[in-house]
């Protein structure tokens, strides 16, 4: 939307979108453009009530934005862009900061170990060299690429391994409130991807467009929840499945026992009838 100021009398459309639970997005549309405001959780209700008091009644209609010509043109362009993004393979890279910090850590501790090895004859340099391993881990963790394609989405590490899930298997998608990670849930599996917070700025728009474009095309539900960052332990899942299986077996045994009891009662009633 075009960023500009709009007086209450020029307001043609008004709505509040809850993109984030703590930061709702207020959109005000005029005849030639619109403006967006990211509200805080504390003042969102007061701001919405004030705008409802001064805005025209037609601007509060559910389809008020659909009647604006500039909004229809923008939506058509966005739809065409999403169709183009979802039909190709999109590569989303991690921000350079983790890898850069990792390389700085590696260079510092390697240089310190070399200095210790030159200045002393003992094995002190190996102690300093061990501190370079966390830096190598940061370099490795800062190098994966998220590939979002028409058929599947995958997380490719530099050497090994590659985690992937086809869009046909995805049942729902969740994003935590801090934008740290996307989680794709499938039948008995989950795929965790780095969230927009860790993406490069150049890839952020096309990455979000590719993900949400596929969700809209396939009708996959999306939610923002703090539970996206947590996964139940495997032994807990196995225990739950074992408990469900035991309950099902107990139900079958009880049904069989009731069936035998019914046959016995039927035989007794037949004996009385004779």
Which residue ranges make up each domain of the chain?
8-67, 78-92+144-230, 95-143
ω into residue 161 within 30 of 0, thus cis?
yes
Going by C-alpha positions, the residue among 94, 85, 89 that lies closest to residue 197 is 94
Which tokens hold the place of 5?
């100021």
Q: Tell me how crowded residue 30 is: count the other CB atoms within 10 A of its CB.
A: 21
- Torsion angle of C-alpha atoms 177, 154, 136, 101, degrees rounded to 10: -40
Distance CA 200, CA 212 (A): 18
**Length reported for the chain:** 274
Integer-rounded Cα Rg, in Å, for the chain is 29
- Please give the distance of CA 198 from its chain centroid, rounded to a whole number: 13
Quote the pTM value: 0.71
Distance CA 107, CA 7 (A): 58
- 3-state SS of the chain: helix, strand, coil percent to 5? 55, 20, 25
Which tokens hold the place of 118?
């030159």
Which tokens hold the place of 222?
């999306």
Sheet arrangement for strand 145-148: 90-93, 145-148, 152-156, 162-166
Do residues 123 and 159 make contact, with C-beta atoms less than 8 angstroms apart? Answer: no
Instruction: Dump strand ranges (E) for the chain.
Output: 13-17, 25-29, 34-38, 90-93, 145-148, 152-156, 162-166, 172-175, 181-186, 189-194, 222-224
Q: What is the pLDDT of residue 250?
A: 54
Please list the pLDDT of the chain residue by residue as tens digits (274 residues): 444 566 766 788 888 887 665 677 888 888 888 888 877 766 777 877 887 787 888 888 888 888 899 899 998 999 999 999 999 999 999 999 999 999 999 999 999 999 988 888 778 888 889 999 999 999 998 999 999 999 999 999 988 888 999 999 999 999 988 889 999 999 988 999 999 999 999 999 999 999 999 999 999 999 988 877 676 555 444 545 555 555 555 555 544 444 444 444 444 344 434 4
Give the CATH class of 78-92+144-230.
Answer: mainly beta
- Please give the distance of CA 256 from its chain centroid, rounded to a whole number: 46
């Amino acid at each position: 939307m075009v960023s500009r100021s709009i007086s209450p009398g020029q307001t043609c459309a008004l709505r509040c979108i809850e993109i984030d639970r703590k930061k709702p997005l207020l959109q005000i549309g005029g005849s030639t453009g619109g403006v967006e405001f990211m509200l805080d959780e504390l003042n969102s209700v007061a701001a919405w009530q004030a705008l409802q008091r001064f805005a025209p009644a037609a601007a509060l209609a559910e389809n008020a934005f659909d009647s604006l010509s500039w909004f229809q043109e923008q939506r058509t362009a966005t739809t065409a862009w999403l169709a183009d993004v979802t039909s190709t393979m999109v590569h989303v890279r991690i921000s350079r900061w983790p890898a850069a910090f990792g390389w700085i850590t590696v260079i510092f501790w390697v240089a310190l170990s070399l200095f210790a090895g030159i200045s002393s004859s003992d094995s002190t340099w190996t102690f300093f060299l061990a501190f370079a391993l966390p830096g190598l881990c940061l370099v490795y963790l800062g190098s994966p690429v998220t590939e979002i394609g028409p058929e599947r989405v995958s997380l490719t590490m530099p050497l090994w391994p590659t985690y992937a899930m086809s869009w046909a298997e995805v049942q729902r998608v969740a994003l935590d409130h801090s934008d740290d990670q996307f989680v794709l849930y499938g039948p008995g599996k989950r795929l965790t991807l780095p969230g927009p917070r860790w993406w490069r700025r150049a890839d952020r728009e096309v990455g979000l467009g590719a993900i949400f474009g596929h969700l809209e095309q396939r009708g996959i539900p999306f939610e923002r929840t703090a539970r996206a960052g947590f996964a139940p332990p495997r032994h807990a899942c196995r225990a739950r499945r074992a408990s469900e299986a035991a309950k099902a077996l107990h139900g079958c045994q009880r049904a069989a026992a009731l069936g035998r009891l019914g046959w016995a009662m039927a035989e007794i009633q037949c004996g009385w009838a004779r």
